[in-house]
């Protein structure tokens, strides 16, 4: 993708603070971090979101995200991390090149991240389960 900022970063056309690179994955410091050490992990090839990313690349992104989390714990002393992805505009994706955030967390950071379940959705869990069960 010619105007994809993450593709330009992978090609070296835009400066980044690289933390990790292999044949499939590139990881770098987010330029608008929510905490010190906030890292983005991306596929080197352009894949818009989780829906069009091949499983082998997605698996490598998750493996690298774990390595990055451990690195943050070992080198920066972080207490915990959030690892997340937004796939699709409705989900909050704003750069349409698949990326996972690895966000360092501490008790003192006062960040609020999470989901608030809705008890009043009036949904039939059994009906949804029957539509979604995967065969192994």
The second-level CATH assignment, the architecture, of 5-132 is 2-Layer Sandwich (3.30)
Angle at 8 between CA 53 and CA 66, to 5 degrees: 50
Active site residue 47: no
Separation between Cα atoms, residue 64 and residue 81, nearest integer Å: 14
Task: Point out the catalytic residue in the list 47, 97, 99, 101.
Answer: 99
The predicted-structure confidence for 1-22, as pLDDT tens digits, reads as follows: 779 999 999 999 999 999 999 9
The predicted-structure confidence for 120-135, as pLDDT tens digits, reads as follows: 777 888 998 999 998 8
Separation between Cα atoms, residue 20 and residue 78, nearest integer Å: 18
Taking the domains of the chain in order of start, what are their residue ranges? 5-132
């Amino acid at each position: 993708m010619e105007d994809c900022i993450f593709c330009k970063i992978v090609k070296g056309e835009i400066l980044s603070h690289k933390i990790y690179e292999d044949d499939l994955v590139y990881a770098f410091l987010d330029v608008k971090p929510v905490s010190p050490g906030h890292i983005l992990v991306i596929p080197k090839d352009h894949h818009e979101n989780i829906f069009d990313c091949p499983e082998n690349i997605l698996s490598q992104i998750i493996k690298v995200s774990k390595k990055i989390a451990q690195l943050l714990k070992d080198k920066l002393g972080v207490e915990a991390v959030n690892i997340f992805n937004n796939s699709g505009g409705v989900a909050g994706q704003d750069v349409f090149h698949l990326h996972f955030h690895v966000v360092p967390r501490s008790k003192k950071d006062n960040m609020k991240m999470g989901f608030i379940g809705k008890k009043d959705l009036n949904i039939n869990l059994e009906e949804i389960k029957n539509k979604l069960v995967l065969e192994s």
